[in-house]
Amino acid sequence: MITWNNLDTLASYKKLFEVEKVNLAEAMSGENGAERVRKYSVPMAEGLAYNFAAKQVDDKVLDGLKELAEEAQLTEKFEALYNGEVINTGEKRLVLHHLTRGQLGNTVEADGVDKRAFYVEQQRKIAEFAQKVHKGEITNGAGEKFTTVVQIGIGGSDLGPRAMYLALENWAKKNNAFKMEARFISNVDPDDAAAVLYGIDVAHSIFILVSKSGTTLETLTNESFVKDALSREGLDPSKHMIAVTSETSPLAKSDDYLAAFFMDDYIGGRYSSTSAVGGAVLSLAFGPEVFSQFLEGAAAEDKTALNEDVLENPAMLDALIGVYERNVLKYPSTAVLPYSQALSRFPAHLQQLDMESNGKSVNRFGQPVDYVTGPLIFGEPGTNGQHSFYQLLHQGTDIVPLQFIGFRHNQMDTDVVIQESTSQQKLCANVAAQIMAFACGKADENLNKNFEGGRPSSIIIGDQVNPRSLGALLAHFENKVMFQGFLWNLNSFDQEGVQLGKVLAKRVLAHETDGALKVYSDLLNI
Amino acid sequence: MITWNNLDTLASYKKLFEVEKVNLAEAMSGENGAERVRKYSVPMAEGLAYNFAAKQVDDKVLDGLKELAEEAQLTEKFEALYNGEVINTGEKRLVLHHLTRGQLGNTVEADGVDKRAFYVEQQRKIAEFAQKVHKGEITNGAGEKFTTVVQIGIGGSDLGPRAMYLALENWAKKNNAFKMEARFISNVDPDDAAAVLYGIDVAHSIFILVSKSGTTLETLTNESFVKDALSREGLDPSKHMIAVTSETSPLAKSDDYLAAFFMDDYIGGRYSSTSAVGGAVLSLAFGPEVFSQFLEGAAAEDKTALNEDVLENPAMLDALIGVYERNVLKYPSTAVLPYSQALSRFPAHLQQLDMESNGKSVNRFGQPVDYVTGPLIFGEPGTNGQHSFYQLLHQGTDIVPLQFIGFRHNQMDTDVVIQESTSQQKLCANVAAQIMAFACGKADENLNKNFEGGRPSSIIIGDQVNPRSLGALLAHFENKVMFQGFLWNLNSFDQEGVQLGKVLAKRVLAHETDGALKVYSDLLNI
């Protein structure tokens, strides 16, 4: 029997405040530190590992977190989710993104169909379509092959797929899997669409319109923008566009599209990279086989999230440590720092995933909570960030917990030896060095050069960014955010906080405003 | 006589805590709110205006901030800076980035020369060089025109110039000012350089090596990477490379470069967009006239920072409100939200500018301070962010102050009317709506749909992102960060916090580690 309780009603949570805090600088020094790095590591799928040695925890804290996981029934709640309970209480919906990559539990039926079968069927249709495009069986009006795919979507229809595309673009080029260049149009700023259209060969481009409801303002506006551009070049828009939408949307059966692939209400935008939303663009760009490998990596990682033992469940442990940092240690933000240029936009995707899921002040029953919830998430790839905001991370007045990601090998397999090391070795040496600099610091008489240390971090270490490891990485963070939502007793799957702005913007455009909003509108010439 | 005191020793600072806090939701409602939007606006240069109506201030708070500005001697300290005092106490250096765009005070001599004349001379040399490249008087080895310029640099040699390039790329294309495409290589991850080289026509590319000391690890490594690639194609690297460096660096007089342009120790990387660091790449990409306009915009904005009246000094007011939010209201972060796709990387630049300048725990004399300093800075362009992390900004448990930027006109002048409004109008309607949604919220019986409001923001409103307004915008934030450094009594112009990581990384590469660092190194296969 699952009970959904606020975090601060749990005895194990209250106990956590009594556990002695870890002195990280001390813990990570000497042989004790070495032993922590060896021991405090949880295997993930696809050769990844979550190493939390440099987090502000020890066996006592971990015992407390284990108790918390049990009392909060994290395993049982995940089980309820993947078996099809209505976990999205606000919108009264199931939460089924795991089903896009595997069947973790019982068959889940909704809308009269087996949902796993539904998602697989969409993947099959997309694969078939993509292969026809690649073979030149589906072409533009002049019978010529498409060379570019452009995704039109915003939020979850943009950030996740874009981050995944960028993560695999160079891997695909190196591994003969690169089929078509992908571009993305998201912003309602007309310069976004104009710039993308300026930079591509429109006549050989296929556009994917992604909108679940078929009503997203930005996306429909950009679709019109694109259709105008196609028409101006004497091209038939319906020969250049496909739709990813819900079966009930006005786009689903329209002749305006070469094809339509379906998503549904059980997968939120920010969880949709493994659905048709990511599937169409990634299958076109890299081929359906690559997309399948990506799903397999995610599926394998989902299985690690089933482990009841916290120390064998990397997402659950990551979630618990994050809540400990946020609620017990009172750190208000977290930086995500991948040491991989391929993951340049992965932090932007996690920013949405995390902040839109858990940036909430009411619990899943709509009652206010008395504790802080989702932290602020930001990040840039290393080593770039080292030459930017790391100054504050090392010597600023606030402590910011860090989530590093590093890989032993790069993607392009081109490297150069300078001063007896490769660039890849330099990259890895830097992330190792940073973890220790943050954890242990270094005393200096000149306080301007003094490093206090005590700044916690974890690192996910993998072999290489490839479709499988990327899928695993994505699933890890999705599951981490889910477990944190369970801990905070939130509904992580709605986003009511985005509604008011939309309503007011419509009022501005209809010139139905007064007071301050009217003056702002005038200042902006609307 | 200037005295440098810690913020918490100032009587006016202590008084600020006694001033009644503003109820923002109330203040921004009705006709009172409209009046605030009309009144709480400070003109900037180039037609921009800083509107702070939706900040948590009123006339009483503003009086307190005025007193603080006077007691902290902000005007006098700025005067000392631009007249050439050693403001960078840690490194014992002058701080002269303002001189790259104008002479605000006395002639400043250093290294035996008039520094304004020195910077102007570099601009002249760069302009001459760029014009010769554009005219085809300087060519590749085969006598063909260069078509692409690639900047090799990291941190301040990357983020600022890159953000400025992206901000003006489409404006230049629209206004016949586009000369060459620019690309950027920064990360020591070898996939960064490999991917850029893969995507360009190397034989027609000119590379700018940017390193003040000539010793930055990432930059020298990437230079070798590029030289290897040039050599492999049978090209002579010295015919494809220029350097931006200090006159005393080993690069300054090397035959390895077609030309060398100079910077010096008085301009930190993050303040170098208006120096030769930004000048070379922007002059090559858009022509020296465009770079001149950019400098003129910055110079004009610098002049507004001289105003002793806080209400006529946008950077000073912005700085004061920021400190009020950080230290009195206790908000730990600030989001920068430009409603302009052109400014997509402007927040990443400000992240470095702000966090590297003021993310410090010791004052300018090396003594610990007892108050919080620089906030965490992050941001993405709107409307994209609305579909991502705005959920937390609206309904999360922490309040995040916001800095909006909006423009009446887009850059490309291509637009589409959908539902009786253009995309540009929709973009502007959204930013206006967001300000009001954050400030006033909206009550709802269903607390999941309830918006508390009381979330402060400012907006800089301009006509269009163009070279002049961009220069003004950049200077505004540079000056804001400078004034905040004065208030916190920090040295905003060094970055000792980046050193320890470098030292440890070298040790890893030399295999001179033990303990935890050795185990991490092994895990990462170094």
By the 10 Å C-beta count (0-12 exposed, 13-18 middle, 19+ buried), A512 is classed as exposed
Pairs of CB atoms within 8 A across A/B: 496
pTM of this prediction?
0.98
β-partners of residue B457 are B402
Residue B348: its chain A contacts at CB < 8 A? 380, 388
**The predicted structure's pLDDT at residue A10:** 98
Helix or strand or coil: residue A432?
Answer: helix
Q: Are B50 and B314 in contact (CB under 8 A)?
A: yes
DSSP secondary structure code for residue B266 in this structure: T
Report d(CA B396, CA B438) in Å as an integer: 12
For residue B216, pLDDT over 90 is answered with no
Q: What is the pLDDT of residues B84-136, one digit of tens each?
A: 999 999 899 999 999 999 999 999 999 999 999 999 999 999 999 999 999 99
Please identify which residue in the block is written with the tokens 């009022």: A507
- Asked about B356 being catalytic, the answer comes back as yes
A351 with B187: Cβ contact below 8 A:
no
Say if CB B494 and CB A448 are below 8 A apart: yes
Residue B468 scores a pLDDT above 90: yes
- For residue A431, the distance in angstroms to the closest alpha carbon of chain B comes to 8
**What pLDDT, on a 0 to 100 scale, did the predictor assign at position A299?**
98
Of the two residues A17 and B413, the one the predictor is more confident about is: A17
CA distance to partner chain B, nearest, from residue A114 (Å):
30
Is A289 designated active site? Answer: no
| Closest in A159, A190, A376 to B388, CB measured | A159
Check: CB of residue B267 under 8 Å from CB of residue B298.
no
User: Closest residue of A to B367, CA-based?
Assistant: A447
- pLDDT of B447 reads 96
* Residues A524, B428: C-beta atoms closer than 8 Å: yes
Q: Determine whether the interchain pair B423/A351 forms a contact, defined as Cβ–Cβ distance below 8 Å.
A: no
| Distance separating alpha carbons of residues B460 and B317, to the nearest angstrom | 13
Residue B417 β-bridge partners = B422
Would the pLDDT of A213 be above 90?
no
CA distance A29 to A419: 29
Record: contact B388-A194, CB cut-off 8 A: no
Band of the pLDDT at B278, cuts 50, 70, 90? Answer: very high
Which residues of chain B neighbour A420 with C-beta distances below 8 Å? 509
Q: Is the pLDDT of residue A214 over 90?
A: no
Q: Does position B478 have pLDDT exceeding 90, yes or no?
A: yes
Q: What is the rounded distance in angstroms from the CA atom of residue B230 to the CA atom of residue B223?
A: 10
B261 membership: H or E segment, kind and range:
strand B260-263
**Which residues on chain A are in Cβ contact (under 8 Å) with B383?**
154, 187-189, 218
Among A388, A395, A507, select the one facing B159 at the smallest CB separation: A388
> Which entry of A18, A20, A92, A387 is annotated as an active-site residue?
A387
Q: Does A189 contact B340 at a Cβ distance shorter than 8 Å?
A: yes
Catalytic member of A218, A223, A296, A356: A356
B173, B218, B516: residue with CB nearest A36: B516
B328-370 confidence digits (pLDDT tens): 999 999 999 999 999 999 999 999 999 999 999 999 999 999 9
The stretch A485-500 carries a mean pLDDT of 97
Q: For residue A267, what pLDDT band results from cuts at 50, 70 and 90?
A: very high
* B285-300: pLDDT as tens digits: 999 999 999 999 999 9
- pLDDT, mean of residues B388-395: 98
Note the pLDDT tens digit of each residue in A365-400: 999 999 999 999 999 999 999 999 999 999 999 999
Distance from CA of A245 to the nearest CA of B (A): 17
Which of A372, A433, A449 has its CB closest to that of B398? Answer: A372
Tell me whether residues B433 and A53 touch, CB distance under 8 A.
no
User: How close A168 gets to chain B, by Cα (Å)?
Assistant: 12
Please state whether beta strands B41-43 and B421-422 pair in parallel, antiparallel, or not at all (unpaired).
unpaired
Helix (H) or strand (E) segment spanning residue A295: helix A288-304
Strands B41-43 and B49-51: antiparallel
Subunit contact A394:B424, Cβ cutoff 8 A:
no
Average confidence (pLDDT) over B15-21: 98
Instruction: Say whether A190 and B410 touch across the interface (CB within 8 A).
Output: yes
- In terms of phi and psi (left: phi > 0; alpha: psi -120 to 50; beta: otherwise), the region of B58 is beta
What band does A216 get if pLDDT is binned at 50, 70 and 90?
confident
- Closest approach of B155 to chain A, Cα-based (Å): 4
**Model confidence at B214, in pLDDT bands (50, 70, 90)?**
confident
* Cβ contacts of A134 within 8 Å, gap of 6 or more: A179, A180, A287
Q: Is the torsion defined by CA of B81, B82, B83, B86 positive or negative? A: positive
**What is the average pLDDT across B168-175?**
97
Q: Is the dihedral of CA B162, B163, B166, B168 positive or negative?
A: negative
Residue B217 clears pLDDT 90, i.e. is over it: no
Other beta carbons within 10 Å of B86: 13
Quote the minimal CA–CA distance from A184 to chain B in Å: 12
What is the token pair recorded at A385? Answer: 């960030």
Residue A353, pLDDT > 90, answer yes
Ramachandran angles phi, psi of B377, nearest 5°: -115, 135
Q: How far is CA A312 from CA A17, A49, A101, A303, B94, in A?
A: 24, 11, 21, 11, 55
DSSP for B415-436? --EETTEEHHHHHHHHHHHHHH
Place A445 in a pLDDT band, splitting at 50, 70 and 90: very high
Q: What is the pLDDT of residues B57-90, one digit of tens each?
A: 999 999 999 999 999 999 999 999 999 999 999 8
Q: What is the arithmetic mean of pLDDT over A302-316? A: 98
- Examine the residue annotation and report whether B98 is marked as an active-site residue of this protein: no
Q: In chain A, what percentage of residues exceed pLDDT 70?
A: 100
Please tell me the distance in Å from A212's CA to the nearest CA on chain B.
14
Helices (H), B72-148: 74-82, 115-135
- ipTM comes to 0.97
Query: What's the confidence (pLDDT) of residue A133?
Result: 98
Phi first, then psi, for residue A249 (nearest 5°) are: -80, 160
Question: pLDDT value at position A484?
Answer: 98
pLDDT tens, B178-188?
Answer: 999 999 999 99
Tell which of B448, B458, B503 to mutate to test the A interface (max A CBs under 10 Å).
Answer: B448
Catalytic residue among B218, B301, B325, B356: B356
Interface test with A, best of B390, B392, B455, B523 (most A CBs within 10 A): B392
Residues of B in contact with A30 (CB under 8 A): 515
- For A286, list phi and psi in degrees, rounded to 5: -120, -5
The answer to whether the Cβ–Cβ distance between B374 and A384 falls below 8 Å is no
Q: Do A398 and B372 touch (CB under 8 A)?
A: yes
Given the residues B387, B420, B445, B511, select the one marked as catalytic. B387
How would you write B269-318 as a 3-class SS string? HHHCCCCHHHHHHHHHHHCHHHHHHHHHHHHHHHHHCCCCCHHHCHHHHH
Contact A516 B34 (CB under 8 A): yes
Q: In chain B, which residues have their Cβ closer than 8 Å to the Cβ of A410?
A: 189-191, 194
| pLDDT given for residue B212 in this prediction | 85
Mean pLDDT of chain A: 97
Q: Do residues B472 and B490 lie in contact, with contact meaning Cβ atoms separated by under 8 Å?
A: no
* pLDDT at residue B451, as a whole number: 97
H-state helical runs in B305-441: 314-323, 346-358, 390-395, 423-440
- Dmax (CA) of chain A: 74
Residue of B nearest to A54 (CA): B516
Give tens-digit pLDDT for A314-339: 999 999 999 999 999 999 999 999 99
Contact of B420 with B413, CB cutoff 8 Å: no
The 10s digit of each residue's pLDDT in A35-72 is: 999 999 999 999 999 999 999 999 999 999 999 999 99
User: How long is chain B?
Assistant: 526
